[in-house]
Amino acid sequence: MTQPTDAPTTVPQAAVVLRHYVSQARWGLAATRASVLEAAHPQIGAALVGNSTFVARPWRRLRNTMMSTRRLVDDDEQVRLREAARLNRLHQRISGTDAHGRPYDAMDPEARGWVMATLFESTVTMCRLGGHPLDPPTQQRLYDEFREMLVLMGDDGSSLPATLQEFWPYYDDTISRRLEFNEAVHAVLHRVFAEVPPPPALRGHPTAWAAIRALAGPLATAITVASLPETYRRQARLTTPPGAQALMHGVHLAAGLATHWLPAAWTQVGTFMDVLDLDDDDDDGPGSRLLGALLHQASRVSALLQHLTADAGPPVSSARRSAERFFTEVLDQTGDGHLAWPDLAAMAREIATRLDMDAQTEARLFTAYADWWRELQTSLDTDGDGRITRHEYATAATTPAGPALIKIADVLFDATDTDGDQVISAGEHQKLFRTAFDHELTGGGGGLSRAAFVREFLTFMAGRHRSAAYDHLLTEG
């Protein structure tokens, strides 16, 4: 049987079919659909609500997910194995109990199998809705590759049925018996799309972004809900506005036709990431330059509208406002209004991901953050409820800088200083922060010493001043 036009043209080897589809920008439709079905699983939903930054910082989550996926389907086996080990280390730190007293564990084999199941089925659905359904051999190979992904992650693969014929009854049974409509599903469908902050390329255009989000958010929700399996929509009581099904089919078909007919460079995920300025590999690509040119005039209008609509509320103490803003932008990584261990763990995960840390360095970093959390609880958790509110932080008499924070800075310096010369070079700085040196930091020497690096980190984490480097690292959405 001949391969469909939409299938890879080379003989499938390890992850070749999967790599073909995840490299397409339209795979975002499949990944978004799959994320809802994943969140509906009790264990995964609880892990997301308790630990993830996907609501407060969705662009960071998107960028890291795409980077991780590229590593997992890389040609180099060592790259794949290293990324699988890194993900396992991060997931081993995510466990707990949900609001109903049910335990959850990110390493649970059933939950990990369901993640692969949703991604496989959503990819198959994407191709079908896009007008080029997968033929049986290609679908079988894709399924085998997702099962191989579980083996790569260290599972034995038994959490997914051994054959594709057995998969579909398993998939339907899981939807009908295991899935629920929970807080995580509500967050994905309603909070993420409604509250998503502007991507890096649009942060200077808040008014333009507000208009885009007001239109695109409800449409994205309607399209995603309409694409979900009817069984789940019915049991979760999810309704769609009139015309949503037609709109969903139209979007998928248009994306499929564009992928089929347009030059590949126009429809690859890298192009999409470049336009939104999310790709680490190209800070000044053609997509970003084009978007910047299109928004040049809009920036003046945006600035004027911001001035005319400025908040005229009651005056607030500048010190208190600064502390509360720092709490919201930096410390509250999960966006739930409180500072707790998952927020600091999210900081550690982001740093470990940026630097692709080895197991030993990563363990040092998480230990340092755990020590800092204990210091923060001792000094700031005045009511002893195990979390720190914005008010508790803003009214504290001292800044949260102590020995543990210095230890974090030392670990961060050691991990960034890859050549061990005790100076952070421009290239090392760029890898961690994705921004160039501030000339004031280097002192004209072209590098950053340990003392200067630690001083800058402590000054920023004390909330005393902004830093382009640490804003890129810890505050971006």
What's the pLDDT at 158?
A: 87
Model confidence at 228, pLDDT cuts 50, 70, 90, reads: very high
Per-residue pLDDT reduced to its tens digit, 70-110: 889 988 889 999 999 999 999 999 999 998 999 999 999 99
What's the pLDDT at 314?
A: 41
Token pair for residue 353?
């991901």
Helix or strand run (H / E) with residue 146:
helix 136-152
Contact 92, 85 (CB under 8 A): no
Fold of 318-475: Recoverin; domain 1 (1.10.238)
Per-residue pLDDT reduced to its tens digit, 26-64: 999 999 999 999 999 999 999 998 888 877 788 888 888
Contact 38, 115 (CB under 8 A): yes
Least confident of 56-65, 264-273, 305-314, 417-426: 305-314
DSSP structure class, residue 200: G
For 132, phi then psi, to 5°, come to: -135, 75
User: Residues 82-85: contacts with CB within 8 Å, 24+ apart?
Assistant: 82/356, 84/152, 84/153, 84/154, 85/359
Model confidence at 446, pLDDT cuts 50, 70, 90, reads: low
Give the separation between CA 360 and CA 405, rounded to whole angstroms. Answer: 19
CA atoms within 13 A on the CB side of 156: 1
With a cut of 70, say whether residue 138 has pLDDT above it: yes
For the chain, give every domain's residue range: 16-261, 318-475
Tell me the helix, strand and coil percentages in the chain, rounded to 5. 65, 5, 30
With a cut of 60, say whether residue 413 has pLDDT above it: yes
Query: 181 versus 306: which is more confidently predicted?
Result: 181
Query: 281 versus 191: which is more confidently predicted?
Result: 191
What's the pLDDT at 46?
A: 93
Model confidence at 269, pLDDT cuts 50, 70, 90, reads: confident
Give the separation between CA 261 and CA 278, rounded to whole angstroms. Answer: 25
